[in-house]
Structures are given as C-alpha cells and as structure tokens.
Structure 1
Amino acid sequence: MFSSVVMALASTGPAYSLAATLGIIVAGVGLQAPIVTMLAFVPMLLIAYAFRELNASDADCGTTFTWATRAFGPRTGWMGGWGLIVANIIVMANLATVAGAYGFRLVGLHGLSESRLWVTVAGVVWIGLLTVICYVGITVSAAVQRWLLCLEVAVLLLFAVAALVRVYTDPPPTAIHVSASWFNPFEVSSVRALTSGVLAGVFIYWGWDTAVSVNEETVDSTRVPGRAAVLSPVLLLVMYGLVATSAQSFAGIGGTGIGLGNADHHDDVFSALGKAVFGSGGTGLFLSRLLILMVLTSALASAQTTILPLARTVFSMAVHKAVPARFARVHRRFLTPTWATLGMGVASVALLVLLSSFSSNVLADSVDSVGLAIAFQYGLTGFACLWYHRKVLTRSPHDLICKGLMPGLGGLLMVLLFVYAAFFVYAEPGYGASTVDLPVVGRVGGVTVLGLGTLAIGLLLLPVVTRGHSTALKLQRSLLPGRLPPQTACETASRYLPADNGSGVGGDWYDVIPLSGTRVGLVVGDVLGHGLPAAATMGRLRTGLRVLARLDLAPDEVLTRLDDLAEQNAQERERAPAPSGTTRQGHAPPPADEAMVTCLYAVYDPVSGWCSMARAGGPPPVLVAGDTGVARDLDVPPGPPLGVSGLPYRSTELRLAPGSILALFTAGLLQASDRQDAGLRRLAGSLTGHRGSLTGLCEQTVTTMLTGAVDEDATLLLARTRLLDRTRLAQWEPAADPAAVAALRSSVSKQLDDWGLDELAFTTEVIVSELVTNAIRYAGGPIQVRLIRDRTLTCEVSDTGHTTPNLRHAASDDEGGRGLFIVAQMTHRWGTRYTPTGKVIWTEQTLPPPPKG
C-alpha cells in the first residue's frame, strides 16, 4: 500500500508541478489560486473512484484502454489508450527538459541551463537513465521513489511552514495575510479564468493513476491499487492547498520581484522563492539549493513513474492485439515489458528532439496541450465505469454512488473542461506561445492545434488498428444464426458474448437444427483459436455439422465424421504456404489452437421425451429437471476435441421431464471461476428457481456468470423441453401382410379427416401404401406407421431392415423402381434414419393454408 501511494504521488511530481503551474494559476485567477487548486481535486477524486471500481472488477494494467474497450468496444478503447500514450510521451519530453535545466542550475552552470541544445542533450541522458531503471524492475523503481518522495514532501512542508512563519513574524514587503476570500471560487473574475485555472490544476494532480497501472505487479491487485488511487489525490489536496496558500501569502501576486504573478518565474516559482524564504546564509543557502534539488528530483521521479504506466498500457494493448505483438514481450529475469519500456523511452527521446528542433514555443504549447489529453482520458474512464457497471447500479446505494453517480459526474466534468478549454480558451490566437493559421478556420492557438491534432492522429490510425477485430467479429456474427427458429420440441434462447478485446474474438458457435419427426438438434461448439482463422474454421464446421445432422445420424457418429472434417481442415492449413513464419520445408507451422475444436451435440425427441447427446471436449451440459427443479451437470462421456485423435465418441441417452431446462455452453461462460467444478455449481445455481421467460433467464445467467472481464468468447444455449400433444400423433402397427395395407389406408384417411387435412388424404394414402408395401416385401415385420401433425405432416414407416432405400429413375420398360420416386415427388422432404432395431423412412408434406375468415 505504501509503495503504491508513493508511486502515485511521485508520478504527479508535487514539487515540479507546483513550481511550473502555481504562477500560471495565479496569473489567471489572482488571489483565488488556493481554492482553484483545491477545486481541481473534485473531478480528480470522482475519477479516482472510477479507477478504483474498475480495477476491482478487472485489474488490468491497460486501465483506460482495457476498460473502455470492455465498455464501449475496441475503437473507443483504442482512443482511450492513445490519449494516455500521447499525454505521457509529451510530458516525458517536457520533464526531461526540466530535469536537464535544473541539473545545470544545481551545479551553477546557468549558461548551459539556457541553451536549448545542452538542455536537450541532458534530457536525452535523463530519459535513457530512467528507462533503464524502469527496465530492471518495478521493485527497484519503487525503492528509488520511496526515498525521493519522502525527501521531496519533507522539503515542501518545511518550505510551507517557514513561509507562513515569516509572514507573521518577519514579513517581506510582498507578504499578505491569509484571507477567507482566497477560498471563495465565486470571486474569480470570469468563467474562462476559472476553467483555465482548474484545467491547470488538473495537470498538477495528474499521475496518481500510476498506482493502478502497476496493479498486476501489486499485492492484492484488485484492492490496494484502487485504494491508493483514492488516497493519493486526498494527500495531494492537503499538500497543494498548504503550499499554494503559504507561497501566495509570502510572495503575493505581484508581477515583479518574487511575486507569483511575475511572468519570468511562471516556469519555476521556487527558484526565486527559495532564497527569499530560507535566506542566503549557510543553512538558508543549503535549504534553497535543496528546494531546487527537490524540483529536479520531482521532475525525475515524475518522469520515471510516467514510463511505468506508459509501458504497461502499451504492453496491454499489445496483448490485446491493438499494437504490434512484440510490445507484449516480458523480460524473463526482470519481469518487465521489454519492448514496451524501451520503445516508449525511444519515442520520448524522438519527440523531445523533434519538438526542440522546431522552437521552444512549440515545446511549451505541447505541454499545455497535455491537459486536453488528460481530460479526454479521464472523462472516458468515468463514463466507462458508469456503463461497465450499469447492470448492478441498483444492487445497493454504494454501487449506485461509487460505480455510477461519482464516475459519471467526474466524466461529465472532464468532458466540459475538455470542450471549453479546447474551443473557447486554448483556441484563442493570443493564448500560448504559438499561433497556427489553419485553412477555412483561420488563426487558432497552438495549444488547441497540438492537443486536438495528436488525438486526431489516433483517429486516423483507428481503422487500421481495429480492422482485424471488427472483421473477425462481423464474420463471426454473420455465421451464427440470425434468430432461432421456433420448435415444437422445445423453447430455445441463446446468448453469444464476444470477447472484449481484439485477441479474444474467435470460434464460438451455437445452432438449433430441426430434424425429422419433430426432433431437434442442439449444438454448441468452440474453435479454440482466435481471430479470422478461427471464425472461418467455425463457419466450415457449423455448415458440416448441419449437413451431418440432417442425415439423421446419432450424436456420436456426427462427431466422428465432424472430427474427420476438422482434421482435414487442419491438414490443408499445414500444406498451405505462407509468406512469413514458415518452417524449413517452406510451409506454415500448424496453428495448434485452431486444430482443436470442442463441440456438444444433443438430439431431443418430443414424442418419447428421450435426449441423446455426445461431446468432444468442453464442459458438460447442465440440466434443471422439470419435475424436481434440481440442477446438476450431466455425466456425458468426454471425447477428445475435434481434430485431435483419441478415444471414440460415445452417446448418452436420458429421459427429460416436460419443462426441463437443458443448458449447453462453451468454456468461456466459466472463465470467471477458478475451477470448472466451481463454475458449474455457480451456473446450476443461477439456472435454478427462475420462473420468467427463457430469454430473460439466458440474459440473467450470462450477467451472473460474467460480471467482469470477458477475455474469451462465451456462448449459452438454453432449451426448455416439451412433449408432443398426443392428439397430434397417430400410430398403427399393421401386420406384415399385403392385405393389411387397404385397412391401413382407410385408417389414415379417417385420421386426416379428424385433423381437417382432407386435402392431403390422397397423397398420404399413396405414401403410406408404397412405404408399407416395400417394408413388407423387403424387411417383413414388425412394422410401425406413425403420423405427426406439426408444422408439416410427417409420415414415418419403421421396420427391422437395415438396407438403405435408393431413389431410382426407372426406364420406360422397367416393371418396378418407381415407388420411391413417386413418393419423393409428392413430398416436401424425405429421408431415412436408423434405430437400434432397424430403420425409419420418413416423409414431410407441407400443410395447406388455413381457411380465410
């Protein structure tokens, strides 16, 4: 906890922030500088709560990037990460120049401190040194920061106390006694001045989120970083309020001498105040030099702790495929992001050299523009917290306030600051050190141009960065069922939840397949890879499974043949040449993940109530019994994943009571649980006792199971079983005698008349006569005939034969072979399925439209 708070405070650089900002705030708001400094604390505290709650739900070092991605999608998340990168790299360049200049001043080389070339050289050296410290480990960084920060805070408090003592004992000519009016924000001259001051105040608080950026390297990562993020702004509020009040009381706000309004000292108020407060004697000179040293070390500490969140944000973006994957590499010994840390150090050096080569004005305006990037990033985080937790806000007053109201209000304040500053303050041609003449718009302040321009670069990169994720997600959704068709056998509901990040969208699929005899096939599968290849593999396997299912094969046989298809696809990918990443034989290495597919296939018969199922890897289904309401996971023998050789698949059969709920799902639904058995128990509990709609239960279950991060796709398919109404079923068992066919035709005709299907009587009699005659001729008894009135009229004739009937086109001189051809012409569909005792030949006829009126 102590190290986390130290990291947060060091990243803000209290001494440097006050030295570089206090004079600017005084120039804008006058004597109200202390209250404006304190007002900037309010939106920071609100956003700190957003960081705390989001970190508790998902402790990811990507912070704003990760959370905005999960809340609003990869495009918004990319912009959040880009805003953080822009702000940190620009500040790194500025901090390096401050450290370079102060280093020369500390040793008395004031001439070099005014040289842009030597300051830039020193800044490059400082960035390199700090990057190395961050590279060798977080514990080394924390140890350095503990010593630097404790000394820095002690010197600042000593300065504040000494200044106030001097004001009331030995006041200088500029001294002003502390007044209550200093803490009245309504005495600020204008809204513009107040906004400009608060935005500058936001800058001096910025950096406490470093405690959250190193969350994955912190003990108790879901609690300690969030607490440190809330505590740090509170400590800064006390420190800033005390130092701002004492400095203003001692120096006044005049525009000459040591006055805080003196423009010559706006970039460093402590250089002039140090000697005035401590004196120029032996101890005073030492303390004034120590104050300058503290500004130097504050800038260095802030620079070092700026590299930490910057590198970790880039690392998280690389893991989630938002930037090149090389930035996700971690050093084996130091356990730090290697490419991300070194890469961001190099980027900071490049920007420092680039900005310094233009002019000091551009560098100064780039620092002011950081406020826009900060407001953008923090505002987005506040809204992400509100939207991310929207489903639990009514759970308790604490959730409503800490997860909803405070983050939402903080985000709103940040957006208002961003808009007002960008378009009404910074855009003024006279504001800042430079002005840009834009086409159509005209002359605009350089701060607005740099601030909005750097964010616009992120928008230009956005389509390239998110193209892979968007394409994979579109392909994935296009290959899934648009809507589940209604079934007589069961009521169904489904939910597919794609991964929040670019690397997680992959090969989950589900399907509901109508089969003969009002049966239904239920499928859930998962290609274990990610991205476009996994989605494409999923599409091929889903199509193959639908074709196999319509052949009326048993679940274990369907998976066996689907396994052959998956293996064939894997072999084709192995043989396909690739331009990069090839083996010595010149072929692409086999993608191990995409060669493995889990699948659960179940067939439910509403006539008998029996359900048969088989699975290839993946978790077992969960059943809520319709008669007892007890939920349990089913003991379905686990076969090997598709595409992996192993034991044969086995089917399991069980009878389901009417109203039973069968839950088929992929492993992604259990990702929030540490173990599969714990996840299964949690899922069974969420499915028990629900009396609402199946769609509502599906939504509620997914919300319960996945309350936080969704790092991989999750699919849930629910089916509530029904039994077929016996008034819609008729069956006979005629003798294996041709004479019985005539009586059977009469019975069929009478049944159709009872159902009001007289129009189908003739064709049905012909179908039954032909199929039963063939059964008598080629198989013998026993024979069963069944009519099912559903969305179609189904006629089934079962016998003990195992010979597959073949459709033939009889020649003009053939005496037979026309029966099955006639049946096929008279029906909508027909087919054969095999049973343990023989086979069933079935036909389907389209029902006539109901009479009008």
Structure 2
Amino acid sequence: MKLFGGLAASPGALAPGAGAGEKGLRAGALGLFSSVVMGISSTAPAYSLAATLGLIVAGVGLQTPVVIMLAFVPMLLIAHAYRELNATDADCGTTFTWATRAFGPRTGWMGGWGIIVADVLVMANLAEIAGIYGFRLVGADSLADDRLWTTVAGAVWITVMTAICYIGIEISAAVQRWLLCIEVAVLLLFAVVALVKVYSADGPATAVHVSASWFDPTRIASPQAFTTGFLAAVFIYWGWDTAVTVNEETADSKHIPGRAAVMSTVLLLIVYTLVSTSAQAFAGVGSEGIGLGNAANSDDVLSGLGRAVFGGEGAGEFLTKLLIFMVLTSAAASTQTTILPVARTVFSMAAHKAVPSRFARLHRRYLTPTWSTVGMGLASVGLLVLLTAVSHNVLADSIASVGLAIAFYYGLTGFACVWFYRRVLTRSRRDLLFKGVLPGVGGIIMLGLFCYAAFDVYADPGYGATAVDLPVIGRTGGVTVLGLGALLIGALLMPFVTREHTATLRLQRRLLPRLLPPHTAVEHANRYVPADGRSGVGGDWFDVIPLSSSRVGLVVGDVLGSGLAAAATMGRLRTSVRVLSRLDLDPDDLLSRLDDAVRQDTEDPTGDRTADRATGAVGVTCLYAVYDPVTGRCCLALAGHPPPTIVDPASGLAIHPELPVGPALGVDGPPYRSTELALPPGSLLALLTDGLIHTPDHAADEGRELLAGVLASHRHSLEELCDRALETLLPGPVDDDAVLLLVRTRLLDRERVAEWELSAEPTAVSTARRLTSGQLRDWGLDELSFTTELIVSELVTNAVRYARGQVRIRLIRDRGLICEVSDTGHTSPHLRHAATDEEGGRGLFIIAQMTRGWGTRYTTTGKTIWTEQDLPDGS
C-alpha cells in the first residue's frame, strides 16, 4: 500500500485492545505544553479571526469583544465535561466512547459520526483556504481565484499534513509547536502595534478608543443580533478537543489532556479578545475601507488590516507578508491537527468494532493509525474535489454547516458527562458542579445553538450561498440541508453499524437462564450487566444446576472475546456444563472434559489445533462448584477464573480464599484441582466475572475490597445486596460484561436425613428393608414403603453381589425422597431390557419405572447409586 504516491505504508497489526491505553498508540509522546499546542492549533486562531471577525461585527457592531468573551463560556463548560470524562476513561474515541458508555452504542455511533462529519468538512475547506493564501503569499492572485488550482493546492496540503500525521505524533507536535509560537507572536504583535497607533497622534482616521461600553452586552441592538453574533463567535473556539483526542499518546493520560483542554480555551479567549479589541479600535466597525463592517473584507479581515497596521515598506511589508503567511499556516496547521482527532476517533471506533476492523491497524514503527489516518485524508480530498465540482457555493455553505456537527457532538458530550456520573453527583459539591451542573449547562447551551442555527438562522433561504426546495418543507437554506443531511446519513447507517451489538445482546440474554427455580440447598440471586459497547458484549454466563441428592451446581464463566461468536460460544459451553453436571462429575473432572470440548471446537479439518479467533473459544474462564446441603461442604475448581468471595455468617468478615487456579479452558497448563471447603449454614458466596471488579475506575483488588464492604451487610436480602454491589462497583457505564451470582448456603435438617452402614452380606438386604420401612413410617411416608423397599432391596443386592466391604444406605427427605446406596465397587450398572428366558437384568428397569430419576455418582472409595421419587400429595 502507498500513501498518496510515495510514503510507504505498513499495514501493521490490529490494535491489541479496545480499552483506554490498550490500543498500542505511542504512550507518553506528548506533555502538557504539546497538548495545549495541539488544542490551540486545531482552532486555527489566525484564520478563524480573519474569516469570522467581520461576520461578528456585522451582527453586533462594537459589542464584538464581549460577544467573543461570552462565546467562550459554553466552550469552557464543555471543556470541563471533557476533563471529567477523560479522567475516568482516557480513550481517544472521546465523544464516541463516552456517549456509548453513557447512552449505548447507537448514541455513541452518532457522536463519533458527528466528529467525522465536522472534521472532514472543515479539512476540505481549510485545505482550500491554505491553497488560496499560498498563491496570495507569492503574489499569484490569478491562481488564487482559479477554482482548479486552489483545489489542486488544497489536495496537496491535505496530502502533506496527512503524511506528517502518519509518520509520528512527535513530529506532528514539533511542527505545531513552531507554527503556533510564530502565529501567536505575530497576532500579539499585530494587536500591540494596532493599539499603539490608535493612541498615537498620527493614528488612522477610523481609530476608536477602547471603551467600557464594548464589554456591555446590554447594548446589543436586539436578541436576534446577539444570537447571530454569538453563533458566529462560538465556533471560533472549536478544535481544542484535539488535546483530549490524543490522550492515549499523552503522559499522565487521565489528567494532562483535560487540563490542556481547559487551558487551551482560556488562552484562546485571551488571544481572541485582545486581537478583536485592537482590530476594532484600529479599523472601527464602518462599512467602507478597512472598517470591520465592510462586507467586501468579511471573509478575510486580517489581510487588509495587515498593510494598514504594519505599513507597506521595509519591515512593514515583511510583517504584512508574515501575517498573511500566518493565516496560511494557521489553516494548514489546523488541517494537520484536524486529521489527528478524526483519525483517532475512527481508530477507536474500529477498535470497539463500530467500523470495519481494518481501520484499527497501527504502523509497526510509528505506532500511528494507518488505515484511519490515510482513509480520512482520502475522504477529505474526495470531499474537496466533489464539492468543488458541484458548486463553489456549496463548498462555501459546507463550512458553515460544520457548526451544526460541532454543536451536536459537543452538546452530546456535556449530556453524556451528566448521565455518566449521575450516581455520584451527590457525593460532593465538586462532583455536583464539575460533573453535573457545568457540563449540563454546556450541553443545554449547545442544544439551543443547534436548534436555533438549524431551524432558524441556517434554514433561512437567504442565508448562505445556496438554497434547496425540499418536499413539504419548502425552500430551505443550503447550510441547514448540508449540516442536517450529513448527520442524517449517520442516522441511516446506524442500524447497520449497531445491529451486531443488538443481535449479540438479544442472543446473550436468550441464552442466559431467565428464571432459576428455588432450591433447598441454597438461596440465590443474580445480576447480568451487559457492556455498553460492541467491544464488550457477549460471553459471560452463570447457572444454578440442581444435582442429585439435593446438591446444587454453581457455575460462572467468561468467554474471551465479544460479539455474536462469543455469545454463541457461551451458549454451547453453558449447555455442555449442564450435560456434564448430570454425570455427577467432580468439579476438576468436569472442567477437564469441558476443556476437551473447547479444544475440539478449535481444531481445523486438518487436525491442527489453533486459536479460533472467529469464535473466541480459546481462553474461556470458568468456576464450577458443587454444594452439598447434607454435609455443608462445597467442592470447587477454577479454570483461569477469579475465586469467589465468602462471607462468614457469624462475623460478616469477607474471605478471599487462595485456591489453585488452573489454566483457562483451551489453554495448555497443569491439570485442574478441586478444593473442598466446609461452609457454615448461612455462608454467603459471591461468584463473579472479572468485569464486575476490574473496571476503568478501579483495579481488581480494589474492586474486591469494595465488594467485601457491600457484603458486610450480609443479613440483607440477596436481591438488595446485588443492587448495592452494582451501584458501588459499576456506578456508571460498563465496558465489559459483568455477572454477579450471590448464594446463601443452607444445611438440611438432620431429622430429614437417615444413614446406615451394613456389611456386604446377604442378610444386609432384609436389614435394609426393615430400616427403610421404619424410617418412612417415622416420616409419615408409608405410601412409599413398598416401592422404596423394592429399590433398596435391588440396590443392596447388587452391592452384595458385585462389591466388597461396607454398604452405606442414606435416605434424604427433601422435595422428593432420595435413596442412596454406596459401595466400594467402581463398575456402573446399566439399564437394559432382559430377554424372556433370562432370570436377571430386570432390576434397574423396574427401578427406572418407579422413580423420577436415578444415576451413579463415583467417589474416591467407590460409587453411589441414587434414586429419587416424588412425595405423595400433601406430604
């Protein structure tokens, strides 16, 4: 692959992870100063003033400085939202990632699409401006007015800036530092010289002394004039969020980008206020000559003022040319710093599986996004060529329509911050102010600006250079049509982009148990919390499985991966565990057989076992436990899974037992080992997946301590404890699926259990029948005496015939009547149909007809054959 005809592009590998700091970008490449430079450069201060100052003056006249100051307020509020969100989730996807976590993948997609629309549109326009100013700088005014040559020059500028972004963030930052320092220095020099001449004896005839009335918003002629000027002023601050978009490449990524965003907006306020005040004092707001109200100069105020301020000879000529050059480099630098955020937004969207995964590729050497950087550069060139070919008026209106996309995703970020932190707003005054009030007010202002601009100002057919006749609506301004149309394209693409997340979540919920029946052995409650983005949904599961002899199987598992494949794999494994559990296997044995099933899943037709990236089956973690309410013992084994938290019923102390953890299923390693724990009745077990305790807000150890604090109130209902645990550990959006299964153990009343141990002699059969009938009479179950004596007689006879040593009989009265006969033999009887001339072989067949179920359970000393019968009605 080649990058714009020359620069070799290595496709590289996919981002190794989707989380903040896990995508493989060059961490620590930028410091605070470089981040601030990135934020300010993206706003293109010189070009923004040159292109917008005249429009603001046309709206509000002498009140231009105060309008520029007021326009700073919503930007500062949104900058605080960026800072707070970045402190929790320093993801280069910014609005896309945060809106996804706050509101779900559909809203997140639209936030990311808003960034793409704004950045690609503005890049096309900034490149054209850079081309025009480049020709003017060398005196080629005829080429500056030629549409073909300005388009070619714009495409060249995009290519150059894309190449700089491609070969490394450090080079991009170094270029920006030099360009911005010179740009700000020239603007400040312009402001100082202009003010000096205003107050000198030979000042220009248009000069007006600075007055306090300029900073009084009540002097604005009308609310409509204010909103028109405010709308034009607010977007000259746009671009500071680049400082946050490069967060994963910034040192101290959780704090420096947020500080840089706030500092960038404050520094822009100072520069804009000083330059606008000095320019207005020097040129006035007249509609002739160099007056800022002259419509002929509205699209380029600084070029005309430069010669008047600096003069046309000697050093003045040089400074005039330098000012023009600064407007040129401002537009060019903004092109470069606009490529950075859109490329990283698309890169993050690809890492989170919201766009094709190829856009998540990194350059092996430069550690920069490859497909996303080049792709956004190509998209900008294509859009520039397309809009130029359609109409230059359409190209002009497209830059105005950028404001709608900006207001959309900035406002969405403000609302996402409030919803993201909604559960912690009452924690402190600072949280309420900086996480709630300020972002919320900023979001409301942006929403108001969006609606006012889209449906009033921009919709006016007389606004801008184009108008479109829309069905039903009628003639509408082209700026509204372009801005809303671009966002509408994203809304139309949204169902296709988010359908996998929707399908995965639907499949995941259908495969998980909907309603687990009550059980004598334990009381249980559960919660499943799906991830808010596509990169985390699918794979976590839990189950409570009734086993023989009133025992219960407890399962929690996590499939490595996400999406439909992970959800389908989870469904297969949950079914496999249920099937294997019916064999009454020990936990370590069950995990070994489940491991075999996973390995068979990852074998190709040739027999080579490979990691199946499509299904994500390799790397499954699982915890399987069996609790026996008769003995109060719990036997469990782990396959790469977090161990449970156990709360003592007497003291309320949470214990994190150190258990042998075997390898994840499908991964080579030592064999699985079971551990048996004695649990007092009323013990509380918390079985969970990693997504519950390991979040962006806290590490796994801290999460366990938080969970222990919640479970200290173990006497509360399990449902209440589940809710409290989620509120504490997952107060905001969720990056990864999380499962919590709470279990409170019970011990079966000893009066409901009867045990006898007999010698393996023929007389044991009659003794067993007599003991059984006596116990059933004591329990008031005389109706079951005949069948139970027959069952016991058959099973004890088999034990006497085929085994040696002692024979143990146990009756358990639970929801049914359970009969167990244990011996030292290791051979399992098989059910079969005896022929008419055979004397034996009918015993198990008769037992199977008289019972609800029967089976064999192997132990370390032999085997146990069990049967279960329904209790009589009313018993």
TM-score normalised according to structure 2 size: 0.89
Q: Distance in 2 between matches of 1:231 and 1:659?
A: 56
Q: Distance in 2 between matches of 1:382 and 1:204?
A: 19
* Contact 2:773–2:785 (CA under 8 A) maintained in structure 1: no
* Contact 2:766–2:793 (CA under 8 A) maintained in structure 1: no
* Contact 1:58–1:708 (CA under 8 A) maintained in structure 2: no
CA offset at residue 72 of structure 1? Answer: 1.8
Which residue does 1:829 correspond to in 2? 853
Query: 2:828 is matched with which residue: 804, 812, 820?
Result: 804
Structure 1 unpaired stretches of 5+: 577-582
* Contact 2:361–2:370 (CA under 8 A) maintained in structure 1: yes
Q: Secondary structure at the match of 1:258?
A: coil
Does structure 1 residue 490 correspond to structure 2 residue 522? yes
Query: 1:651 is matched with which residue: 674, 682, 705?
Result: 674
Does structure 1 residue 112 correspond to structure 2 residue 112? no
Which residue does 1:155 correspond to in 2? 186
**Change in CA separation of 1:410 and 1:60 when aligned onto 2, cut-off 3 Å:** same
CA offset at residue 773 of structure 1? Answer: 5.4
Which residue does 2:646 correspond to in 1? 623
Q: Distance in 1 between matches of 2:35 and 2:370?
A: 22
Q: Distance in 2 between matches of 1:452 and 1:323?
A: 22
* Contact 1:202–1:371 (CA under 8 A) maintained in structure 2: no
Q: Secondary structure at the match of 2:671?
A: coil
Which residue does 1:340 correspond to in 2? 372
* Contact 1:489–1:605 (CA under 8 A) maintained in structure 2: yes
Q: Distance in 1 between matches of 2:235 and 2:153?
A: 24
* Deviations 1:142-195 (CA, angstroms, capped at 9, x unpaired): 122222212222222232233333334445443444444433334444444433
Equivalent residue letter for 1:102? Y
Query: 2:636 is matched with which residue: 584, 589, 613?
Result: 613
* Contact 1:633–1:684 (CA under 8 A) maintained in structure 2: no
Does structure 1 residue 460 correspond to structure 2 residue 492? yes
Does structure 1 residue 791 correspond to structure 2 residue 822? no
Query: 1:602 is matched with which residue: 607, 625, 639?
Result: 625
Q: Secondary structure at the match of 1:146?
A: helix
Does structure 1 residue 143 correspond to structure 2 residue 156? no
**Change in CA separation of 1:610 and 1:680 when aligned onto 2, cut-off 3 Å:** farther
**Change in CA separation of 1:682 and 1:439 when aligned onto 2, cut-off 3 Å:** same
Q: Distance in 2 between matches of 1:765 and 1:683?
A: 54
Q: Distance in 1 between matches of 2:782 and 2:720?
A: 41
Does structure 1 residue 247 correspond to structure 2 residue 279? yes
* Contact 2:693–2:700 (CA under 8 A) maintained in structure 1: no
Which residue does 2:233 correspond to in 1? 201
* Contact 2:115–2:405 (CA under 8 A) maintained in structure 1: yes
Equivalent residue letter for 1:739? S
Which residue does 1:302 correspond to in 2? 334
Which residue does 1:428 correspond to in 2? 460
Does structure 1 residue 716 correspond to structure 2 residue 740? yes
* Contact 2:755–2:811 (CA under 8 A) maintained in structure 1: yes
RMSD (Å) for aligned C-alpha atoms: 2.9
CA offset at residue 212 of structure 1? Answer: 0.6
**Change in CA separation of 1:675 and 1:113 when aligned onto 2, cut-off 3 Å:** closer
Q: Distance in 2 between matches of 1:294 and 1:690?
A: 65
Query: 1:751 is matched with which residue: 741, 756, 778?
Result: 778
CA offset at residue 398 of structure 1? Answer: 1.3
Does structure 1 residue 315 correspond to structure 2 residue 347? yes
CA offset at residue 315 of structure 1? Answer: 1.4
Which residue does 2:322 correspond to in 1? 290
Larger displacement relative to structure 2 (794-803 or 459-468): 794-803
Equivalent residue letter for 2:356? P
Q: Distance in 1 between matches of 2:784 and 2:485?
A: 73
CA offset at residue 847 of structure 1? Answer: 4.6
Aligned residues: 839
Matches of residues 249-398 of structure 1 in structure 2 within 5 Å? 249-398=281-430
* Contact 1:58–1:709 (CA under 8 A) maintained in structure 2: no
Query: 1:537 is matched with which residue: 562, 569, 593?
Result: 569
Q: Distance in 2 between matches of 1:129 and 1:570?
A: 46
Does structure 1 residue 639 correspond to structure 2 residue 666? no
**Change in CA separation of 1:793 and 1:424 when aligned onto 2, cut-off 3 Å:** farther
* Deviations 1:739-766 (CA, angstroms, capped at 9, x unpaired): 335533542332332xxx6765665555
**Change in CA separation of 1:293 and 1:575 when aligned onto 2, cut-off 3 Å:** same
TM-score normalised according to structure 1 size: 0.91
Q: Distance in 1 between matches of 2:613 and 2:52?
A: 57
CA offset at residue 425 of structure 1? Answer: 1.8
Q: Distance in 1 between matches of 2:601 and 2:148?
A: 61
Q: Distance in 2 between matches of 1:625 and 1:606?
A: 16
Q: Distance in 2 between matches of 1:802 and 1:39?
A: 85
* Contact 2:611–2:618 (CA under 8 A) maintained in structure 1: no
**Change in CA separation of 1:765 and 1:423 when aligned onto 2, cut-off 3 Å:** farther
Which residue does 2:554 correspond to in 1? 522
Equivalent residue letter for 1:823? I
CA offset at residue 669 of structure 1? Answer: 4.2
CA offset at residue 621 of structure 1? Answer: 3.1
**Change in CA separation of 1:705 and 1:303 when aligned onto 2, cut-off 3 Å:** same
Q: Distance in 2 between matches of 1:848 and 1:431?
A: 85
* Deviations 1:64-100 (CA, angstroms, capped at 9, x unpaired): 1111122222221111111101100111111111111
Q: Distance in 1 between matches of 2:33 and 2:733?
A: 28
CA offset at residue 523 of structure 1? Answer: 1.2
Which residue does 1:726 correspond to in 2? 750
Equivalent residue letter for 2:679? L
Which residue does 2:17 correspond to in 1? none
**Change in CA separation of 1:493 and 1:187 when aligned onto 2, cut-off 3 Å:** farther
Matches of residues 438-517 of structure 1 in structure 2 within 5 Å? 438-517=470-549
Q: Distance in 2 between matches of 1:190 and 1:808?
A: 96
**Change in CA separation of 1:49 and 1:590 when aligned onto 2, cut-off 3 Å:** closer
Q: Distance in 2 between matches of 1:475 and 1:790?
A: 35
Query: 2:718 is matched with which residue: 694, 697, 700?
Result: 694
**Change in CA separation of 1:370 and 1:360 when aligned onto 2, cut-off 3 Å:** same
Larger displacement relative to structure 2 (520-529 or 192-201): 192-201
Which residue does 2:99 correspond to in 1? 68
**Change in CA separation of 1:611 and 1:227 when aligned onto 2, cut-off 3 Å:** same
Q: Distance in 2 between matches of 1:844 and 1:194?
A: 83
Q: Distance in 2 between matches of 1:848 and 1:592?
A: 48
Matches of residues 17-56 of structure 1 in structure 2 within 5 Å? 17-56=48-87
Which residue does 2:15 correspond to in 1? none
Q: Distance in 2 between matches of 1:676 and 1:271?
A: 55
Q: Distance in 1 between matches of 2:390 and 2:618?
A: 54
**Change in CA separation of 1:493 and 1:776 when aligned onto 2, cut-off 3 Å:** same
Q: Distance in 2 between matches of 1:161 and 1:674?
A: 48
Equivalent residue letter for 1:26? V
Larger displacement relative to structure 2 (616-625 or 684-693): 684-693
Larger displacement relative to structure 2 (511-520 or 816-825): 816-825
* Contact 2:422–2:732 (CA under 8 A) maintained in structure 1: no
Q: Distance in 1 between matches of 2:292 and 2:344?
A: 38
* Contact 1:476–1:507 (CA under 8 A) maintained in structure 2: yes
Which residue does 2:441 correspond to in 1? 409
CA offset at residue 790 of structure 1? Answer: 3.4
Q: Distance in 1 between matches of 2:556 and 2:246?
A: 38
Equivalent residue letter for 2:425? L
Structure 2 unpaired stretches of 5+: 1-31
* Contact 1:64–1:80 (CA under 8 A) maintained in structure 2: yes
Q: Distance in 1 between matches of 2:420 and 2:700?
A: 27
Equivalent residue letter for 2:357? A
**Change in CA separation of 1:646 and 1:15 when aligned onto 2, cut-off 3 Å:** closer
CA offset at residue 215 of structure 1? Answer: 0.9
* Deviations 1:39-69 (CA, angstroms, capped at 9, x unpaired): 2211111110111011111111111111112
* Contact 2:123–2:338 (CA under 8 A) maintained in structure 1: yes
Q: Secondary structure at the match of 1:737?
A: helix
Q: Distance in 2 between matches of 1:549 and 1:660?
A: 23
